[in-house]
Amino acid sequence: MRTYTAAIVQMNSTPDLSENLKQAEVLVKKAVDERARLVVLPECFAYLGPEKEMLAQAEEIAAEGERFLKENARKHEIYLCGGVYTLPENFTRMRNRRVYNTAMLCGPNGDILKKYEKMHLFDVDIPDGVSYRESDYVRGGDGPILFSDEELGKIGMSVCYDVRFPELYRQLSTRGAEVFVIPSAFTAFTGKDHWEVLVRARAIENLSYVIAPTQVGTHFGKRQSYGHGMIVDPWGAVIAAAGVSPGVSVAEINPDGIATARTRIPALTNRKLKN
């Protein structure tokens, strides 16, 4: 692993696929101008709209999201990760169609390096009057995914609601994860109380960097996201914060920071329950 600059891209995506991709293109370019080597877009960056409308356009949304990541990674010669919808092989033959909510990582050549399909689906009744049933239109993934190379190090992949399940991150940490990515669209109601606490906790307990971009603002109807995307270092300090507007924030990912934190508090080697 080498020292590199990572960027979080905070967006206000809507049901307008074309406009979302234009917004993302501008923000990715801004991150590149700030010398980011790894750029991470939020969950549902290409489309955030009513589920029935998404399923009706699923093939186009999936194709365009993937195309965007591949083309912009290749164009800027960067690593580009984002939350997209992807389709199971039998999607067109399904009676009750469901997609995958996927964190996709593309490399500087435009190749797909890893895909993680979200395991924990957001089936929740929020006290603000909005109910979410992600499992009605999304299929859960099978298991943890770790990406590893000499430049970026070992990256554990996850998506939004996964952040509430520390066992996922501990499994990835046991496999060597040094950095976690969490493309998100965290709700406004829960975000104000839980978002920063959860993101920082995953960094502290695993002594790893966490790169957590998120959506912000009103997307459609009552659907609102909290914003406040962040990058957190292995000591739990917020080293980049996106606030409450679309934009880009960057921070340095440094292997010395991981080594220092793990030397100060050797919690990973002191563990007793390892399964």
Given 64, 81, 117, 118, which residue is catalytic? 118
Task: Answer whether residue 275 is part of any domain.
Answer: no
pLDDT of 273 reads 85
196 included as an active-site residue: no
Beta strands in the chain (DSSP E): 4-10, 38-40, 79-86, 99-106, 112-117, 123-125, 131-133, 138-139, 146-149, 153-157, 179-181, 209-212, 216-220, 223-226, 230-232, 238-241, 247-253
Task: Answer whether residue 122 is part of any domain.
Answer: yes
Given 44, 81, 106, 160, which residue is catalytic? 160
pLDDT of 275 reads 66
Query: How many domains does the structure of the chain reveal?
Result: 1
3-class SS of residue 174: helix
The CATH number given to whatever domain includes residue 19 is 3.60.110.10
Residue 18 neighbours by CB distance under 10 Å? 9
At 149-184, the pLDDT tens digits run 999 999 999 999 999 999 999 999 999 999 999 999
Residue 117 has pLDDT above 80, yes or no: yes
Supply φ then ψ for residue 48, to 5 degrees. Answer: -140, 95
Task: Reduce the secondary structure of 73-136 to three states and give it as a string.
Answer: HHHHCCEEEEEEEECCCCHHHCCCCCEEEEEEEECCCCCEEEEEECCCCCEEECCCCCEEEHHH
Task: Answer whether residue 115 is part of any domain.
Answer: yes
43 included as an active-site residue: yes
CA atoms within 13 A on the CB side of 110: 8
- Which tokens in the block code for residue 218? 């009103």
Task: Answer whether residue 274 is part of any domain.
Answer: no
Give the model's confidence band at 129: pLDDT under 50 very low, under 70 low, under 90 confident, else very high.
confident
- Which range, of 131-135, 253-257, 259-263, averages the lowest pLDDT? 131-135
Task: Answer whether residue 273 is part of any domain.
Answer: no
Task: Answer whether residue 62 is part of any domain.
Answer: yes
Task: Answer whether residue 219 is part of any domain.
Answer: yes
118 included as an active-site residue: yes
Task: Answer whether residue 272 is part of any domain.
Answer: no
Given 43, 66, 117, 178, which residue is catalytic? 43
Domain that holds residue 93: 4-266
Instruction: Report, as an integer, the average pLDDT of 241-254.
Output: 98
Q: pTM, whole model, 2 decimals? A: 0.96
Residue 34 has pLDDT above 90, yes or no: yes
Which residue type sits at 228? H
